[in-house]
Amino acid sequence: MTDTLAQFAVEIASGAIRVVDLTHTLDPDFPVIILPPEFGQCARFRMEEISAYDHRGPGWKWHNIHLSEHTGTHFDAPSHWISGREVPNGDVDEISVENFVGPVVVIDCSAGAAKDDDFELTPEIILAWEGQHGRVPTDAWVLMRTDWSKRSGAEYLNMQSDGPHSPGPTPEAIRLLVEDRDIRGFGTETVGTDAGQGAHHTPPYPAHYILHGAGKFGLQCLSGLDQLPPTGAVLIATPLKIKGGTGSPLRVLALVPGGET
Amino acid sequence: MKRQSYDGVVLAAPVTIPYTRYSTETAHYWIARALRETLRAAGLKPTELDGFSVASFTLFPDTPVGLTQHLGLSPRWLDTIPMGGASGLAALRRAARAVQAGDVDIVACVAGDTNHIDSFRKLLSSFSRFAMDAGYPYGYGGPNANFALLTDRYMQEYGATREDFGRICVAQRANALKNPHAVMKKPLSLQQYMDARPISDPIALFDCVMPVAGSEAYLVMREDEAIKRNLPFAHILGTIERHNAHIEDPIQLRGGWTVDIDELWEMAGCGPDDIDLLQTYDDYPVISAMQIEDMGFCAKGEAAAFIRSHDLTVEGDFPHNTSGGQLSAGQAGAAGGFIGLVEAIRQVTHTGGPTQVPDARRAAISGFGMINYDRGLCSAAAIIEGAQS
Amino acid sequence: MTTPLTPPPRKDPLKRTVSPTQPPVIRSRAALGLTAMAAEGRFALQTCAECGAVQYPPRDACSACLSTDLPWWDIAPTGQLLAETTVQTSVKQYFRERTPWRVGSVQLDAGPVVICHLHGDVAANARVRLRLLLDRAGQGVILALPQERTDHMADDPELRLMSSDPHLRRVLITDARHPFAPDLAAALQTAGATLIFAGEPENWLPNPNRSALEAAGAEILPLDVTDTKSVERMAGEIGGKTDILINTARFMRPGGVLARGGTGFARDEMEVNYLGLMRLAQAFGPAMCGRTADGVNSAVAWVNILSVHARTNTPGFGCFNASQAAAFSLSQSLRAEFRGAGLRVMNVFTGPLEEDWYQPLPPPKVTGPALARSVVSGLRDGLEDVWCGDVAKDFEERFCKNPKVLEIELGQEMGE
């Protein structure tokens, strides 16, 4: 086992294993999810100087930051959703840490998403993917690649008068992944694990509802999924240990086999 | 009730310390110098002086009380006169009565102020509450703007012209040229007056006094004291004083003298025709013109005609402000309220030197002071007569 | 006849910007009553409650009967010019830089004589109309104007210095998303503002005001008052040409303390309404204060749009109102901090606006054009406190009468 880790270190150093950053920069202008205004809102990322080598502190610079558990690239714990509120160890600080490192598969929906803002991941697409890459492994992260992370500003949230329009899974697709494949979690490049119009499914926001009700996790606002192979990579996603936290901003990394993947 | 005369009380030892445009010294310095000269003339040591009357704007934070210790005086009678251009006459009135009553033997009346580079602006800014609240915020012209308004109205009302006021200034400059201590030393023509830089229309440069540092003093004592000390002296024939007169006048075209003028002449036992010279308070020529009228030398509104038909120089038929007045000798703060009286004492005691009016016997002096807001509030006048030997 | 102002040429970058100087600032306590009246655009003087004599200059006892009961009453703003002068030189630097300066002596029809600033169009010995205005020291002063309107009257140099006229000035509306931002921009354009900037937070969200703002000539720029960097960036870009700043940034939700059940919205309210104002002031304030003597388009005013309930709360919007109270309090500090530079802080107090968040409330409500009119006229009149709309005016009257009674009444309205 010691040898395995040593080998791992060597391969990272040599580039045989690449470390890929799947995280957006925390930036005050990065969009957050928008709810009807009478509901509570997700805080935008904000940063205030405490001092900057000046009269407020002559030899050092530091900031206070203010943000939501669900700002920027972030992790959703089961307790985030009403369906998951009874799940044991459903808060970020209670989740056992083995869950934060694990296999990941990527279902490429970028072609469809390029044509249709409301593109949906369906069981058919999953089964077709499995036909090509094999069955989705048990306890793996499944990421839905849409290349949405290449959008910015208004294009990213794509807010219209009837709400945001962005791709996401159907309830059936999520059920297949959760109930039949028993995945660890589901991740997207959009602002939520659900489609922009996900409120109109039954149940509303099916990814949130079904994933968290089953004790699974979510990752959203991921970027750079185009750098991952469909299978064979390892995801490192370690939320902050926030007491009673329902999610957390985090740095998401993937370990990817080097060379021509 | 008929007012008591000033018989037995006299004025002596007039002193003017030559003015300077700016001074790095203090009011204390200037007051000390004038006091020293007037005491020396009377052969008095400071500790022998039992009465002290002070007028000054720049003593802060001291008062005349502090001055007694500063100057080593131990008076039994002490007065402070905050009446600006009326302070010389007001000091006289108070001191004379105290001497007459025996409360004090000799009063040294002294006025002095310094003039630092920025002290005129500072003096203005703390001059009075109404000026601070309702005067200076309007262009901060200070007395220039106030007197410009009065001059404008006076000219409209009585048809006086700038040339008329110019004649006052030109005559005073001629007088000043005889006074070796006058700050202004160049002749002034009427054309120069008319062409001068405007200050606050219709007032131009030569309508305005130049703030300077300087001091003035005189002594008030019983006649027997003056004789004992071999001092030339002047009798006080009559005095008047009035504050905030004519409240109902919307703008000041007459001063408080008009209220009491008949009493002044009655007390003095003479009239305007019996006067050999007039010393008016001349911070602006319009106010001298007003005093010529209000003191009874001509009717209201006729000062311009009067000035045109008289020669106001030392050699003239109506000698006026014989030392050059403030307009040409400078305005040394509160000493500006003394300059006319001190010069008048010199004139009637025939110690005027180069500005002496031949055979001057009786002088009228008027004072005017304190632009509290839109007008001068203090007015005073006196008739004095030299003791003829 | 007043010479009309012309648009100033572009600034010569080699010339030093003129430092602001001030007219005399010190006043007695009684005279500050003039300032208080001028701040609201009233022409009022002390009037003896016993004998009715109108007093001027302000004082502590009646000069007719020695009564010390001298309330401030509105009086007829008319009078007769008695005398005038044009100050050509002054020992006060502020006036020295601005001579010739016309001053008059006016007898009010109400009695007293006032020395006052004199509009250039007033003829000799004319009847005049008087106004109490704030000067660049923020103190109340009297200006005499012609009885009838004259051409380009507002361009008179003395009047211009006492107003915050948007004519030929550049204005920043800090939040383009405010429902009334387009109306403000349109009114400012009509009033002759040369540039109108509108700050837009979160440009990743649609802004329904965009086209209306652009139609009113506004340039939309990214500005989010909750983001210090954003505010600093925009101040860096346009802080040197912002002559009037109108802070429309506002976050509001209904509810008092118990209805809220949390502090989330309250935090957002403080973040935008209070800290946002502070960020704007820290970023834009110094540059504006440095440019208050910069010619025709000098920096001149800072405008806050506040709820009247900044002064007395009501639980319907209790938490929002608390943030308005915080902003109001901050505006008082700013006003004092800006005063030395002559930059005026104008607070426009409104009742409920005709917009979404006040939708359930009964009329009357303030419309966009009404708010815009109040802002523009307040700027033209150089006011500090503007009460916009019937609800605000009613509130102010009640507040002046008895603030405690108002508090009780407003608390009871909740139960209805």
Rounded Cα distance, B12 and A41, in Å: 92
Quote the pLDDT of residue B127.
81
Confidence of residue C338 (pLDDT cuts 50, 70, 90): very high
Cα C82 to chain centroid distance, Å, stands at: 32
The verdict on a CB contact (< 8 Å) between C228 and A156 is no
Q: Please report residues of C whose CB lies closer than 8 A to that of B125.
A: 24, 26
Residue among C84, C94, C135 minimizing CB distance to B152: C84
Does the pLDDT value for residue C416 go beyond 60? no
Domain finish residue from C145, C162, C179: C162
- Is B247 in CB contact (< 8 Å) with chain C? yes
Cα B51 to chain centroid distance, Å, stands at: 21
Does the pLDDT value for residue C414 go beyond 60? no
The verdict on a CB contact (< 8 Å) between C226 and A38 is no
Q: 């790095």: which residue's tokens? A: B24
Taking CA–CA distances from C137, the nearest residue in chain B reads B137
Q: Which CATH number characterizes residue C198's domain?
A: 3.40.50.720
CA distances from C309 to C205, C276, C327 (A): 30, 19, 11
**Over residues C3-24, mean pLDDT:** 91
HSE on the CB side for B333, CA within 13 Å? Answer: 34
Rounded Cα distance, B58 and B42, in Å: 27
Q: Which residues share a beta bridge with C173?
A: C198, C246
DSSP one-letter code for B350: T
Quote the pLDDT of residue C334.
98
Q: Please report residues of C whose CB lies closer than 8 A to that of B150.
A: 83
Q: Which residues share a beta bridge with C307?
A: C350
Secondary structure (DSSP) of B88-122: HHHHHHHHHHHHHHTS-SEEEEEEEE---TTHHHH
User: Does C192 share its domain with C108?
Assistant: no
Rounded Cα distance, C40 and C381, in Å: 9
User: Does C366 share its domain with C390?
Assistant: yes
Q: Please report residues of A whose CB lies closer than 8 A to that of C271.
A: 46
What is the total residue count of chain C? 416
Rounded Cα distance, A251 and A222, in Å: 10
pLDDT, tens digit, 9 for 90 and up, residues C67-118: 999 999 999 999 999 999 999 999 899 999 999 999 999 999 999 999 999 9
Confidence of residue C412 (pLDDT cuts 50, 70, 90): confident
Residue type, A85: R
User: Does C185 share its domain with C212?
Assistant: yes
HSE on the CB side for C331, CA within 13 Å? Answer: 25
CATH of region A18-257? 3.50.30.50
User: Does C116 share its domain with C216?
Assistant: no
Average pLDDT, chain C: 95
The verdict on a CB contact (< 8 Å) between B145 and C28 is no
Structural contact between residues C109 and C78, judged by C-beta atoms closer than 8 angstroms = yes
Residue among A47, A48, A154 minimizing CB distance to C204: A154
Give chain A's contact residues with C (Cβ, < 8 Å). 28-29, 31, 34, 37-38, 40-41, 44, 46-49, 152-154, 156-157, 159-160
pLDDT, tens digit, 9 for 90 and up, residues A168-223: 999 999 999 999 999 999 999 999 999 999 999 999 999 999 999 999 999 999 99
Secondary structure (DSSP) of A99-164: GGEEEEEEEE-HHHHHH-TT-EE-HHHHHHHHHHH-SPPTT-EEEEE--GGG--THHHH-EETTEE
Q: Give the domain range for residue C156.
A: 32-162
CATH T-level fold of B9-118+213-228 = Peroxisomal Thiolase; Chain A, domain 1 (3.40.47)
- The structure tokens listed for C340 are 């030395």
- The structure tokens listed for B283 are 């911070």
The verdict on a CB contact (< 8 Å) between C228 and A47 is yes
Quote the pLDDT of residue A259.
64
Residue among A44, A153, A160 minimizing CB distance to C203: A153
CA distances from B4 to B77, B87, B100, B364 (A): 21, 21, 10, 19
Nearest to C153 by CA among C121, C181, C113: C121
Would C295 be classed as within a structural domain? Answer: yes
Q: Extract the residue ranges of chain B whose pLDDT is less than 50.
A: none
List the single range of A33-37, B100-104, B333-337, C225-229 with lowest mean pLDDT: A33-37
Interface contacts B/C by beta carbons within 8 Å: 121
How many C-beta neighbours within 10 Å does residue B342 have? Answer: 26
- Is B123 in CB contact (< 8 Å) with chain C? no
Does the pLDDT value for residue A89 go beyond 80? yes
CA distances from B191 to B162, B163, B165, B183, B305 (A): 11, 9, 12, 21, 19
Structural contact between residues C244 and C171, judged by C-beta atoms closer than 8 angstroms = yes
Q: Which residues share a beta bridge with B379?
A: B242, B368
Domain finish residue from C130, C162, C194: C162
The verdict on a CB contact (< 8 Å) between A157 and C226 is no
**Closest chain A C-alpha to C233 CA, distance in angstroms:** 13
Average pLDDT, chain A: 95
Rounded Cα distance, B352 and B342, in Å: 10
Quote the pLDDT of residue A261.
41
Q: What is the signed CA dihedral for C11, C12, C13, C15, rounded to 10 degrees?
A: -110
Domain regions of chain B by residue span: 9-118+213-228, 127-209+233-386
Residue B157, C-beta contacts closer than 8 angstroms, at least 6 positions apart: B253, B301
HSE on the CB side for B110, CA within 13 Å? Answer: 31
Residue B301, C-beta contacts closer than 8 angstroms, at least 6 positions apart: B157, B158, B159, B293
Secondary structure (DSSP) of B8-46: TEEEEEEEEEEEESS-SS-HHHHHHHHHHHHHHHHT--G
Residue C318, C-beta contacts closer than 8 angstroms, at least 6 positions apart: C255, C256, C257, C259
Quote the pLDDT of residue C81.
98
Quote the pLDDT of residue B388.
67
Does the pLDDT value for residue A245 go beyond 80? yes
Q: 């992370």: which residue's tokens? A: A149
Rounded Cα distance, B189 and C375, in Å: 57
Which among C99, C115, C116, C118 is the top mutation candidate for probing chain B, defined by the most B β-carbons within 10 Å of its own β-carbon? C115
Q: Please report residues of B whose CB lies closer than 8 A to that of C88.
A: 197-201
Confidence of residue A2 (pLDDT cuts 50, 70, 90): confident
pLDDT, tens digit, 9 for 90 and up, residues C339-367: 999 999 999 999 999 999 999 999 999 99
pLDDT, tens digit, 9 for 90 and up, residues C301-321: 999 999 999 999 998 999 999
Residue C276, C-beta contacts closer than 8 angstroms, at least 6 positions apart: C174, C225, C226, C247, C249
Whether domain B127-209+233-386 has CATH 3.40.47.10: yes
Rounded Cα distance, C315 and C331, in Å: 23
Residue type, C326: A
Question: DSSP strand E in chain B: where?
Answer: 9-20, 51-55, 77-80, 106-113, 198-200, 203-204, 213-222, 233-243, 277-279, 362-371, 376-386
Chains that touch A (3 or more CB pairs under 8 A): C
User: Does C292 share its domain with C407?
Assistant: yes
Interface contacts A/C by beta carbons within 8 Å: 47
Q: 């009837």: which residue's tokens? A: A162
- The structure tokens listed for C66 are 């020695």
The pLDDT > 90 percentage for chain A reads 95
Burial of residue C45 (number of CB atoms within 10 Å: 0-12, 13-18, 19+): buried
Residue B100, C-beta contacts closer than 8 angstroms, at least 6 positions apart: B4, B6, B8, B9
- The structure tokens listed for B248 are 């109902």
Fold agreement between B9-118+213-228 and B127-209+233-386: yes
The pLDDT > 90 percentage for chain C reads 94
pLDDT, tens digit, 9 for 90 and up, residues B21-48: 999 999 999 999 999 999 999 999 999 9
Structural contact between residues C136 and C94, judged by C-beta atoms closer than 8 angstroms = yes
Rounded Cα distance, A237 and C287, in Å: 46
- The structure tokens listed for C407 are 């508090």
**Over residues C372-376, mean pLDDT:** 98
Q: What is the signed CA dihedral for C330, C336, C342, C348, rounded to 10 degrees?
A: 40
Rounded Cα distance, C139 and C340, in Å: 11
User: Does C370 share its domain with C252?
Assistant: yes
- Is C202 in CB contact (< 8 Å) with chain A? yes
HSE on the CB side for B293, CA within 13 Å? Answer: 20
Residue among C82, C85, C135 minimizing CB distance to B148: C85
CA distances from C261 to A33, A40, A87, B248, C349 (A): 22, 11, 25, 68, 28
Q: Please report residues of A whose CB lies closer than 8 A to that of C203.
A: 29, 153-154
The verdict on a CB contact (< 8 Å) between A47 and C202 is no
**Over residues C269-297, mean pLDDT:** 97
Residue B184, C-beta contacts closer than 8 angstroms, at least 6 positions apart: B173, B176, B210, B324, B327, B328, B329, B330
Quote the pLDDT of residue C415.
45
Count of domains observed in chain C: 2
Taking CA–CA distances from C27, the nearest residue in chain B reads B133
